[in-house]
Amino acid sequence: EALDKKTPLLRSAEALNRQALRVIHLFGNEDVTAVRTTVGPEQEYFLVDKSVYDKRKDLIYTGRTLFGAKPPKGQELDDHYFGSIKPRVAAFMKDLDEELWKLGVYAKTEHNEVAPAQHELAPVFTTGNIAADQNQLTMEIMQKVAARHGMVCLLHEKPFAGVNGSGKHNNWSLTTNTGMNLLEPGETPAENAQFLLFLCAVIQAVDDYQDMLRISVASAANDHRLGANEAPPAVVSMYVGDEIENILDAIVNETSYAGQEKELLKIGVHALPRFPKDTTD
């Protein structure tokens, strides 16, 4: 029995480690002694001036605006996303990074997000159990540092209607103690077979336990975010890209797979190199 949320997480990590090792050793990787989940949870947030925040009781009491007129300009032009970081926000980000580094949280990337006044922090990935703790620390430190800069950090998933909400994108994978990423295609046929096996296991797990996955993110706040303004729909789905999908289809149909050439991006400018198009995202 467990009354907390950490014990079930640790139990699942042990179960995954046990079963993943069983499969890896079948591929002859006897030097692998542990498999762990790794997570790099990106944290999106809004920054609002404290004087403006204090005028909105709905923001104060609920973390989101409950009514209000639509602004004349929102995120339609993506100018906030692709624009420069404002000096006041950059100063906040600098202090935030330094405070997190003091605590051993390796904050790496800070940038503007799509909605006005929305930003994001992305840390270096680490073990899932540790990443969960570090994300809690990150949110707490964000609010404290924002207060020092005369701002309020909003962490509600949907503080404003009509613009993007704040997600917590999880870059999740399986990694061995030898540094092998089990969800990364290998260099040899044997390594690719191992990758495809673990990929199929993840796909089946998502299919079999999609109700559990959905429940885990079915908070009242997050359900305001899902299904609109860049957020994914409430339906649980997986996208593996055309190339991997063709490989899996060939396995299912017991046919050979000849491979496919990398498609190049058609930029239409002779001075720029022709970059290969990513087959997934």
Find the helix or strand (DSSP H, E) in which 133 lies: helix 128-148
Residues 200, 154: contact at Cβ < 8 Å?
no
pLDDT of residue 281: 61
What pLDDT does residue 57 have? 97
| Torsion angle of the four alpha carbons 47, 52, 57, 61, in this order, in degrees rounded to the nearest 10 | 20
Could you report the average pLDDT of every consecutive run of 10 residues in the chain (281 residues)? 92 97 96 97 98 97 94 92 97 98 97 97 96 98 98 97 93 96 86 93 96 92 86 86 89 86 84 83 61
Q: Rounded to two decimals, what is the model's pTM?
A: 0.91
Question: What is the number of helices (H) and of strands (E) in the chain?
Answer: 10, 7
**Residue 280: predicted pLDDT:** 73
What structural domains does the chain harbor?
6-225 (3.30.590.10)
CA dihedral over 171, 172, 177, 182, signed as positive or negative: negative
Would you say 36 and 13 are in contact if contact means Cβ atoms under 8 Å apart?
yes
Cα dihedral 19, 23, 26, 30 sign: negative
Pairing of strands 107-112, 43-49: unpaired
pLDDT of 263 reads 81
Quick one: pLDDT at residue 106?
97
